[in-house]
Amino acid sequence: MFDDYQAVVENKSIMLKAVTLHGLWEAAHAYGGPIGRPVATLSLALGYWMHGMDPGAYKEGNLLLHAINIVLVGLLLRRLVALAWPTESSRNQAVASILVAFSWGLHPLQVSAVLYVVQRMELLGNLFLLLSLIAYVSARTRQVAGERGGVMFMLCSVFLVFGILSKENAAQMPVYAFVIELALMRFDAQNYRLRKIIRGAYGSIFAVGAVVFFGFLLPRISGQFAMRDFTMWERVMTQFRVLPEYIYWMVWPSPGNLTFYHDDVAPSHGIFQPPTTFIGLVFLGGVVLVGVLARRKMPLVSLGVGFFFASHLITSAPLALELVFEHRNYLALLGPLLVAAELVRCLISSRKQTVAVVLVGACIVGLAFATFLRSSVWGNPALFANSAVIDNKNSSRASYELASIYMERSGGEVDSVNYTLAMAELARASALPRSSPLPEQAMILINAKAGRPVNPEWQARIVQKFETRPLGPQEFSAFYALHSERMDGTPVSDQLLKTISEIYVRRQPGLLDAHLLYADYAGRVLHDPRLASREYCAAVRIKKDLAYDEHLIASLVEQGRVEEARLLAPCIARENALVTQ
């Protein structure tokens, strides 16, 4: 589902047939990017080697990792609760840790992180993050007791590196550690010199982090917002609405609240546009204030508030990411649960132990039942797609997914009920306010393959969307599908494709794949060597790689496209001369 296709199903680099150095190297670089996620992609590759592309086996692997994380959360909490409640008996500390860890693992909000295969990255990243935090707390506890913690600090660093190589979110570990220091450990140590070193280390880490983010990363990623329908500042403002929504899901995880698709969420365009942006900001400010005021008398409340915000430091930052995803709350869920643990302790201290026991028991039973229901829905693709549409009627992605299920069931029979339902759902999806070109692309290809006339309205609407919408991953997916199907012989209108292609390369002149796709189509289908060479030349300018240029010319000649190669040669010569100069 969704990102599973790009990261797993269609990712040939993780399809490990035999355990060889070359195969493992390819798998380690399967995600791309400057760091990649080699630990996670190697895990997916080894999974493929053992069981092929069996989604059930991948999900079982995710479930095992989640079970390990529950144990690790329990071990971390055992240490933190001992620091927060030093006057409680060891038994009470252990019981509280187990109940919170169990509730965290059992919460229905975790279903998507476990049963969504690509979230193997999230699970592994948090596994090493938890190990790193356990090692850190152990090292600091030893320092407070006057002992050495060097070995544990080394382990903490090693686990942190493995976490970052699984998913970049693990880089938030120092922020979690800082929250633990503020709420519980207070930067304490046996001697004054060590206390100064600890405080100085945090100051240095955050100073370096700020310089790297604002001085290096931010200027380089600002251009990525061209593929989004919101700006950097609008994304940050939208999080003032999104974060309170996350807390609501955690506290009240009803089936209607926990919907997988959230593409209908519109960005905030100002602090009062919509007004809920300001309301959310005030609410979050109140939460922070509660965390600060509770620091001494109710330290787990302070810790819980800090954990929640630390978990969203990256995903709520001014990055060109999707606005909302529930799996971002995998570790953030600990926040409200720690607050709940402190409140239950207050009930017990007020001699209302029976009320506390009944309340905790009812919550655990309710969470278990909700998770069972949600897991059952996730286990049935048709039921999942239907429930996604019912729970969020404004989600174009949910509607598109349901239409795909109907079309698959129809077997391409144009007179079947499922075929009619699929086309109706696609028509509904295409008309939704924030809909991508995917529904129109699907309707055009379905009718073209069936030999049916293509509705001119679909063509007009898809052109309008390519002209007006930001050209992101969904837009490129539609662009690629239309070209790929046309080159495979599907009778898609060449006039339509040429119009869309001209729009795409004009609006995203720096996208290599768009130029290559258009060039290939122009040469193979339109038999227009001048157009093809123009687009290949644009690709050459972007690529700036002599070996690639030589391979491109050789490939064109080998395919018998000699005229394209001849027209492209002067462009390559010019570009190489410029590079040499």
Could you give the CA distance from residue 51 to residue 578 in angstroms, rounded to a whole number? 50
Backbone angles phi, psi at 338, to 5 degrees: -70, -40
- 280-to-231, 248, 253, 268 alpha-carbon distances in Å: 19, 12, 19, 11
Tokens coding 495: 């006039």
- Using an 8 Å Cβ cutoff, are 163 and 121 in contact? no
pLDDT of 482 strictly over 60: yes
Does 389 map to a domain?
Answer: no
Does 531 map to a domain?
Answer: yes
Q: Which of 344, 338, 351, 306 is nearest to 97 (CA)?
A: 338
Backbone angles phi, psi at 273, to 5 degrees: -125, 90
Q: Return the SS3 of 428.
A: helix
pLDDT of 190 strictly over 90: no
Q: Which of 178, 235, 233 is nearest to 205 (CA)?
A: 178
Does 318 map to a domain?
Answer: yes
pLDDT of 581 strictly over 80: no
Q: Could you tell me the pLDDT band of residue 5, with boundaries at 50, 70 and 90?
A: confident
- Are 520 and 372 part of one and the same domain? no
DSSP tag of 317: S
What proportions of the chain, in percent to the nearest 5, are helix, strand and coil? 75, 0, 25
Burial group, residue 58, by CB count within 10 angstroms (0-12, 13-18, 19+): buried
- Are 518 and 374 part of one and the same domain? no
Q: Among the residues of 53-149, which ranges form H helices?
A: 55-84, 90-106, 111-115, 120-144
**What is the mean predicted confidence (pLDDT) over 486-509?**
95
What per-residue confidence (pLDDT) applies to 8?
Answer: 82
**What is the mean predicted confidence (pLDDT) over 525-550?**
91
- Using an 8 Å Cβ cutoff, are 161 and 123 in contact? no
- Residues 115-135 have pLDDT tens digits of 999 999 999 999 999 999 999
Residue type, 421: L
**What is the mean predicted confidence (pLDDT) over 271-297?**
96
- Using an 8 Å Cβ cutoff, are 536 and 574 in contact? no
Q: Could you tell me the pLDDT band of residue 415, with boundaries at 50, 70 and 90?
A: confident
Q: What percent of the chain has pLDDT over 70?
A: 98
- Residues 138-152 have pLDDT tens digits of 999 999 988 888 899
Q: What percent of the chain has pLDDT over 90?
A: 74
Number of domains, the chain: 2
What per-residue confidence (pLDDT) applies to 579?
Answer: 52
Domain boundary among 346, 378, 410: 378
Domain boundary among 378, 413, 429: 378
Helix 334-349 / helix 299-311 crossing angle, nearest 10 deg:
170
Domain boundary among 330, 351, 378: 378
DSSP tag of 436: -
Does 479 map to a domain?
Answer: no
What per-residue confidence (pLDDT) applies to 120?
Answer: 94
Domain with 580 in it? 514-581
Backbone angles phi, psi at 254, to 5 degrees: -75, 155
pLDDT of 283 strictly over 80: yes
Cis peptide before 473 (omega within 30 of 0): no
Q: HEC profile for 256-303? A: CCCCCCCCCCCCCCECCECCHHHHHHHHHHHHHHHHHHCCCCCHHHHH
Neighbour tally for 473: CB within 10 Å: 12
Q: Could you tell me the pLDDT band of residue 548, with boundaries at 50, 70 and 90?
A: confident
What per-residue confidence (pLDDT) applies to 4?
Answer: 67
Does 335 map to a domain?
Answer: yes
What per-residue confidence (pLDDT) applies to 178?
Answer: 96
What per-residue confidence (pLDDT) applies to 580?
Answer: 53
Q: Which of residues 4 and 242 earns the better pLDDT score? A: 242
Does 466 map to a domain?
Answer: no
**What is the mean predicted confidence (pLDDT) over 37-50?**
92
Range from 24-38, 116-130, 365-379 carrying the lowest mean pLDDT: 24-38
Q: Could you tell me the pLDDT band of residue 249, with boundaries at 50, 70 and 90?
A: very high
Q: Could you tell me the pLDDT band of residue 59, with boundaries at 50, 70 and 90?
A: very high
Rounded to the nearest integer, the mean pLDDT of the chain is: 92
Residue type, 229: D
Could you give the CA distance from residue 174 to residue 178 in angstroms, rounded to a whole number? 6
Does 385 map to a domain?
Answer: no
**What is the mean predicted confidence (pLDDT) over 463-474?**
93
Q: Which of 202, 71, 70 is nearest to 136 (CA)?
A: 202
Does 70 map to a domain?
Answer: yes
Residue type, 304: G
Angle at CA of residue 232, ends 228 and 234, nearest 5°: 85
Q: What is the pTM of this model?
A: 0.91
Tokens coding 226: 């061209």
The structure tokens 């490990």 sit at 16
Q: Return the SS3 of 561.
A: coil
What per-residue confidence (pLDDT) applies to 2?
Answer: 64
